[in-house]
């Protein structure tokens, strides 16, 4: 990177607008980032710029800024996700804010929080079937990545689970749901009434 860019970054270190408009369109190479870390406002950099995976790892590994900010603003590759799973670090934040493929969820399920998975991750049919007894089915209708996939076929396939407790929060129409009212619980009616209040 040029000396001019370095001077610009240094001069605009605390100018949020500079990061959100100018730097957000520049890819900062990891070696430049690491060799010049002191010229950056890390909060703005993480918020507005797309960082290389090695830069993300350095920020997280050395606690250079808030890990919540990093994991909500940056997208981790599958390799980086697996790196942190192996280290057993940042796991709940990764499960909450990153898209973790089912093969990694399966590989590391022994150390992962199934409630976090149930509420935040897209789960394919194979994962759902293999983990039918450990998934928190009450959370599936609250999972924005799963809601588009919850349909009549889905609830028929998983009718013996506790999916019914919050099924009212799904996008399934009420007439279809009431075909299955023999599975309803008090919580089902509560979720339906809260859905109708919206």
Residue 197, pLDDT score: 64
In a domain, 158, yes or no: no
pLDDT score of 1 more than 60: no
- Which residues does residue 28 pair with via DSSP β-bridges, in sequence order? 51
**pLDDT classification of 88: cutoffs 50, 70, 90:** very high
**Which range has the worst mean pLDDT, 11-20, 119-128, 177-186, 187-196?**
187-196
In a domain, 112, yes or no: no
In a domain, 130, yes or no: no
pLDDT score of 137 more than 60: yes
**Which range has the worst mean pLDDT, 23-27, 36-40, 100-104, 186-190?**
23-27
Average pLDDT over residues 29-44: 94
In a domain, 45, yes or no: yes
In a domain, 55, yes or no: yes
Q: What is the dihedral of CA 73, 78, 84, 89, to 10 degrees?
A: 50
**pLDDT classification of 27: cutoffs 50, 70, 90:** confident
Within 10 angstroms of residue 148's Cβ, the number of other Cβ atoms is: 10
**For the chain, what is the domain count?**
1
Computed over every residue of the chain, the mean pLDDT equals: 94
Domain that holds residue 37: 1-74
Task: For residues 187 and 125, give the distance between their C-alpha atoms in angstroms, rounded to a whole number.
Answer: 25
Task: For residues 113 and 61, give the distance between their C-alpha atoms in angstroms, rounded to a whole number.
Answer: 22
Residue 146, pLDDT score: 97
**pLDDT classification of 18: cutoffs 50, 70, 90:** very high
Average pLDDT over residues 168-175: 91
pLDDT score of 37 more than 70: yes
pLDDT score of 145 more than 80: yes
In a domain, 108, yes or no: no
Residue 119, pLDDT score: 98
**pLDDT classification of 198: cutoffs 50, 70, 90:** low
pLDDT score of 89 more than 90: yes
In a domain, 23, yes or no: yes
Task: For residues 148 and 61, give the distance between their C-alpha atoms in angstroms, rounded to a whole number.
Answer: 36
Average pLDDT over residues 10-39: 93
In a domain, 62, yes or no: yes
């Amino acid at each position: 990177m040029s000396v001019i860019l370095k001077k610009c970054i240094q001069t605009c270190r605390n100018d949020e607008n500079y990061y959100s408009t100018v730097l957000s369109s520049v890819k900062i190479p990891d070696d430049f980032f690491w060799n010049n870390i002191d010229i950056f406002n890390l909060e703005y950099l993480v918020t507005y710029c797309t960082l290389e995976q090695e830069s993300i790892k350095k920020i997280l590994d050395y606690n250079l800024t808030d890990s919540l900010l990093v994991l909500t603003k940056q997208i981790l590759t599958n390799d980086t996700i697996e790196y942190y799973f192996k280290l057993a670090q940042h796991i709940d934040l990764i499960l909450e804010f990153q898209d973790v493929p089912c093969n990694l969820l399966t590989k590391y399920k022994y150390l992962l929080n199934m409630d976090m998975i149930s509420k935040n991750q897209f789960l394919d049919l194979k994962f759902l079937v293999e983990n039918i007894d450990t998934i928190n089915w009450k959370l599936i209708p609250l999972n924005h990545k799963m809601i588009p996939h919850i349909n009549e076929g889905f609830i028929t396939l998983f009718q013996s689970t506790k999916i019914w407790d919050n099924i009212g929060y799904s996008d399934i129409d009420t007439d279809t749901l009431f075909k299955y009212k023999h599975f309803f619980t008090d919580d089902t009616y509560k979720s339906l009434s809260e859905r109708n209040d919206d």
